[in-house]
Amino acid sequence: MPAHTFDLAVVGGGIIGLAHALAAVRVGKRVAVIERDVRANGASIRNFGFITVTGQERGDSWRLARRTRDLWAEVAPKAGIAVAHRGLMLTARSPEAMAVIDAFLKTEMGEGCRLMTPDTFRKDAHGLGGSDLQGALFSPHELRVESRDAIPALAAWLKEARGVTFFTETVVFDAMPPRLHTSRGVIEAGAVVVCPGDDFVTLYPEHIAGYGLRKCRLSMLKLASPGFRLPSALMSDLSLTRYRGYAALPEARALEAKLRAEQPAHYDNGVHLIVVQGADDGLVVGDSHHYDHLPGPFAPAEAEHAILDEYARSLGRAAPPVLERWTGIYAVADDRTYLIDAPQENVRLVIVTSGTGASTGFGIAERVINDLFDLEGRVA
């Protein structure tokens, strides 16, 4: 048997590739991951590491997020990944925002969530909250990891504890089992999962083109420690019109009309607020959304100002100093949150198209691997 023969080759070492590697080793497959860079350097290490259940699109995405959250909870301690936050508090500044939260809590997605009064929010959150705070949604379902550390740690654990072979600084030029042609020679594998993130042109470009994907560039900030530990991740009113689990509720229409009128720069730059905290107490804060076929590297300063403005409005305090700035890019489709294509019998192409890969990737990968190896119903 050639040295490089695997049951499964995964192209892409981001979270979606690693999720497929994990799902395959859990059912006993010999797995290789092939990654262009020396380690993952794309969306997967640039995100908030916010494994979000509450707010995901109702139905499939919400269920995938619950499964993905459970798998993160299981794998993180084994891989030495610290869970920096649990839960979410989403503040509301207007009756319209409170109406969306009330409506959300009446759906099945509200299970386990509750309404916080301004006083309980302030008590739990070090007195944060502007003078116009009306209340907050609390969700216990979320986890938060520091992605820049968690993704390399997950890859190292898959390699050392689960026997996954990594080929890094290796580009796959074509992926047609039983052979993949790479910049370092041929790798043999019975099946392939291609997880290319926002690379739409190297592998199966004609299949990807059929989905009409675009790209989204996001601006992110790391802020200095605020001097205390946040009890959970924080979000605010704008998120109620962006996250599909809330935004699809009829009550979100009035809120969006109000916020668009009051905060046009935030909508022009696709800004909403997520605040999470790291082990060093620094805050990761974002984000903005600019859509294009080639978003380019030039992030408008207005987007950053809008993010910091929303921080001050919702938390009632000026933001701590900015320590780092970066951008990230992910794939976007107008009509789906992810795609699974089968360009050949033993090949799957998997792209998350809604900026939710850390939150849904493990669940999607389990589904793909079960289908690829015909394992429906088998529990690893």
Ligand X SMILES: Cc1cc2nc3c(=O)[nH]c(=O)nc-3n(C[C@H](O)[C@H](O)[C@H](O)COP(=O)(O)OP(=O)(O)OC[C@H]3O[C@@H](n4cnc5c(N)ncnc54)[C@H](O)[C@@H]3O)c2cc1C
Least Å distance, CB 338 to ligand X, is: 9
Nearest residue (CB) to ligand X, 44 versus 54: 44
Least Å distance, CB 195 to ligand X, is: 5
Q: Is 360 helix (H, G, I), strand (E, B) or coil?
A: helix
Nearest residue (CB) to ligand X, 96 versus 200: 200
Least Å distance, CB 134 to ligand X, is: 25
C-beta of residue 337 within 8 angstroms of C-beta of residue 356: yes
Phi and psi for 191 in degrees, rounded to 5?
-145, 160
Q: Which runs of consecutive H residues, i.e. helices, occur in the chain?
A: 15-26, 43-46, 60-78, 95-105, 118-124, 147-160, 205-209, 244-247, 252-262, 264-268, 301-315, 357-372
Nearest residue (CB) to ligand X, 14 versus 226: 14
Classify the C-alpha dihedral 185-191-196-197 as positive or negative.
negative
Number of H helices, E strands in the chain: 12, 18
Contacts to ligand X by CB under 6 A = 11-17, 34-37, 40, 42-44, 46-50, 52, 171-172, 195-199, 202-203, 218, 220, 287, 328-330, 352, 355-359
Q: What DSSP state is assigned to residue 128?
A: -
**Of 303, 322, 302, 313, residue with least CA distance to 236:** 313
Nearest residue (CB) to ligand X, 99 versus 235: 235
Least Å distance, CB 18 to ligand X, is: 7
Nearest residue (CB) to ligand X, 135 versus 355: 355
How many residues comprise the chain? Answer: 380
> d(Cα 298, Cα 313) in Å, to the nearest integer?
26
Nearest residue (CB) to ligand X, 98 versus 172: 172
Least Å distance, CB 9 to ligand X, is: 10
Least Å distance, CB 274 to ligand X, is: 7
